[in-house]
Amino acid sequence: MSDQNLPSWHGTTILSVRKANSVIMIGDGQVTLGDTVIKGGARKVRRLGDGSVIAGFAGATADAFTLFERLEAKLEQYPKQLTRACVELAKDWRTDRYLRRLEAMMLVADKEVSLTLTGQGDVLEPDDGVMAIGSGGNYALAAARALFPQDEVSAEDICTRAMTIASEICVYTNGNFTMEKIDLS
């Protein structure tokens, strides 16, 4: 069987919302191989370094953990400079022969900034504080943006409601969520 015919790890949904006094990152727990659910409770959102950075990944799990380790090393090299650490990681990711083959995307956030990182060298900050990745990312992003302008809806509520909508549409996203929060005040 060629690599093209092998089932691939597929899908996830990670969403982050920065609103008022908090930044929330939430991810589903489903891991699939081809059309089979392998695990329903994976933890794809976690704290990095000293706990001041939250990160979530979509893509191949081993690749994502490699990127988490590299980002933690960059954060040690550039403490309290998440943007700088991410730019340095993106440079390595794009130029290093081993890292270039990694198939994952990441969302990261601290008290100052929220960023999307890709293997193409992108380090992107959202205009509105809302960002999402993964197979259900566009569904979660659209739902979060629709809820965002409502003053009475917190970042946590936006994330939970938007991820629930994504999990009802995307077959690669389940309703078993992991959430991390950073208080901005």
> What pLDDT tens digit does each residue of the chain (185 aa) get?
444 544 444 578 999 999 999 999 999 999 888 888 999 999 999 999 899 999 999 887 778 888 899 999 999 999 999 999 999 999 988 887 777 777 788 999 999 999 999 888 899 999 999 999 999 999 999 999 999 999 999 999 999 999 999 999 999 999 999 999 999 98
What residue ranges define each of the domains in the chain, with the CATH number in brackets? 3-177 (3.60.20.10)
CA dihedral 134, 76, 47, 184 (to 10 degrees): -100
Quick one: pLDDT at residue 9?
A: 45
Whether pTM > 0.85 for this model: the answer is: yes
Instruction: Return all residues near 25 (Cβ < 8 A) that are at least 6 apart.
Output: 14, 15, 16, 45, 54, 55, 56, 107, 109, 159, 179, 180, 181
Active site residues: 12
Quick one: pLDDT at residue 149?
A: 94
Burial 78-111 (b: 16+ CB within 10 A, else e): eeebbeebbbbbbebbeeeeebeebebbbbbbbe
Q: Are 177 and 24 in contact (CB under 8 A)?
A: no
